[in-house]
Structure 1
Amino acid sequence: MSTSTTHDQQGHGSLRSYITGLLLSIILTAIPFGMVMAGSFSKTVTVIAISVMAILQIILQLTLFMHMNLKTREGRDSGSFLFFAVVTLTLVVGGSVWIMYNLHINLM
């Protein structure tokens, strides 16, 4: 009985981790929003900042909200599935953009 209790407690975060995750998510959303609304940055800097903040937010949400921990066996399995999903999504989106670009060039 104690092993299931310990296992259940490992799967859930504390209120403090959820609040920390929420505040960091708000900050990571507000920074690019402020940059876009200010309009004083170049497009390149804005796109890079949005991309970096998006990647940081993905990592933050996977660790604090979804409790993905690559140190455990279950976490490594989840990481493998996540990696497969990211590769598949990248191929689909990249292939779609490539096809649309070629159609645009060839139909002009």
Structure 2
Amino acid sequence: MNNNNSNTSYFIGFVLSLILTIIPFYTIQYNIFDKKILLIITISCALIQIYIHLVYFLHLIHISDRKWIITSLIFTIFIVFILVLGSVWIMTHLHHNLMM
């Protein structure tokens, strides 16, 4: 991949990421939809943005050895799962113990 293609890829990824960040902020700020729809929009934009980052910034589509990509993605998902659940667990216990 030459430098011009790489710069174009980064620019497209940046613009798409910016749009996918602005959409949830705008919809939540102005309370356009119901809370369930806002949650769906936010999660959808986050998942699409993860894909955008993998394709446009990390260039994982162009790598020929996909075994290591799958392994690293599974490990990353596992670590994020532990971090999110651990944070929720800690906040729940802090709320329970400090708000008595």
TM over 0.5: yes
From the CA coordinates, give the structure whose radius of gyration is larger.
1
- In structure 2, stretches of 5+ residues that fail to align are none
Checking the alignment, whether the CA contact within 8 Å between 1:21 and 1:65 is kept in structure 2 is yes
Amino acid across the alignment from 2:67: R
Partner of 1:97: 88
Which of 4, 18, 29 is the aligned partner of 1:26? 18
Which aligned pairs between 1:1-108 and structure 2 lie closer than 5 A? Answer: 9=1, 14=5, 15-69=7-61, 72-73=64-65, 75-98=66-89, 100-101=91-92, 104=95, 108=100
Maintained 8 Å contact 1:28/1:57: yes
- TM-score, length basis structure 1: 0.70
- Which structure 1 residue ranges, 5 or more long, are not aligned? 1-8
Tell me the number of residue pairs that the alignment of Structure 1 and Structure 2 aligns: 98
Query: For the Cα contact (< 8 Å) 1:70–1:79, is it kept in 2?
Result: no
Report the RMSD for the aligned CA atoms in angstroms.
2.6
